[in-house]
Amino acid sequence: DQQVKQNSPSLSVQEGRISILNCDYTNSMFDYFLWYKKYPAEGPTFLISISSIKDKNEDGRFTVFLNKSAKHLSLHIVPSQPGDSAVYFCAASKGSGGSNYKLTFGKGTLLTVNP
Amino acid sequence: KAGVTQTPRYLIKTRGQQVTLSCSPISGHRSVSWYQQTPGQGLQFLFEYFSETQRNKGNFPGRFSGRQFSNSRSEMNVSTLELGDSALYLCASSLNQGTYNEQFFGPGTRLTVL
């Protein structure tokens, strides 16, 4: 039972354009969502997060949108740069305090930004 | 500030053996989590330790165990290795302050079971 789904295994965009990565979840108890970027042979790098009390969070070129009614979140990267080429993972957790350290990950989306 | 470090980075073992992996969290971080990454299953949560106690546990068999020391360093042990245990094992640490906390990952240990 995959509770966090990234339905696009790959995405290719041109440098300077917008990259939109999507993520769907099924567990309505999830209340904290994170995006990670991963290069080969490295661990995931934290990018941005959002709690369920918000619908948008922005950090530089990265913006995460959360639509709770649709159980959907998306990561926007504007403008996209070749160095953004990596696998992007969506992750979710539930509860506060000690119980929100169990992250449930999607399978990832490979983003390729072409020069 | 130094990031999460994991040792060793690569390991080759044979079926039936046991293995111990080590993780040093970011200074000041008291929560350490472990994840397994495989091509088929993706990233899956193993367990999380805080103040030397296992606080959260994933759905892995008892062959997978861990512990945390008083300095927050953590070890993960897998006994009676199986071929399917071949994976990238990732450790993540977190500050454990406030309601929500980001987890910061180490580079991982690549375990190959022959």
Q: Does A103 touch chain B (CB under 8 A)?
A: yes
Peptide bond into B8 cis (omega under 30): yes
Whose CA is closest to B23, among B106, B113, B111, B88? B106
List all residues 6 or more positions away from B24 whose beta carbon is below 8 Å from its beta carbon. Answer: B4, B5, B6, B73
Tens of pLDDT, residues B5-55: 999 999 999 999 999 999 999 999 999 999 999 988 889 999 999 999 998
Query: Does pLDDT of A98 surpass 70?
Result: no
Which residues in chain A touch residue B5, judged by CB atoms under 8 angstroms apart?
A: none
- Cβ separation of B35 and A41 shorter than 8 Å? no
- Cβ separation of A100 and B101 shorter than 8 Å? yes
Tens of pLDDT, residues B69-109: 999 999 999 999 999 999 999 999 998 776 677 889 999 99
List all residues 6 or more positions away from A53 whose beta carbon is below 8 Å from its beta carbon. Answer: none
Tens of pLDDT, residues A16-64: 999 999 999 999 999 999 999 999 888 999 999 999 999 999 999 999 9
Predicted confidence band of residue B2 (pLDDT cuts 50, 70, 90): confident
Which residues in chain B touch residue A42, judged by CB atoms under 8 angstroms apart?
A: 107-108
Give me B110's structure tokens: 């690549």
Tens of pLDDT, residues B39-52: 888 899 999 999 99
Give the residue carrying structure tokens 């759905």: B59
Alpha-carbon distance B41 to nearest alpha carbon in chain A (angstroms): 8
Tens of pLDDT, residues A45-57: 999 999 999 999 9
Query: Does pLDDT of A100 surpass 70?
Result: no
Which of A102, A107, A109 is the best residue to mutate to test the B interface, defined by the most B CB atoms within 10 Å of its own CB?
Answer: A102
Which residues in chain A touch residue B45, judged by CB atoms under 8 angstroms apart?
A: 102-104
> Which pLDDT belongs to residue A99?
61
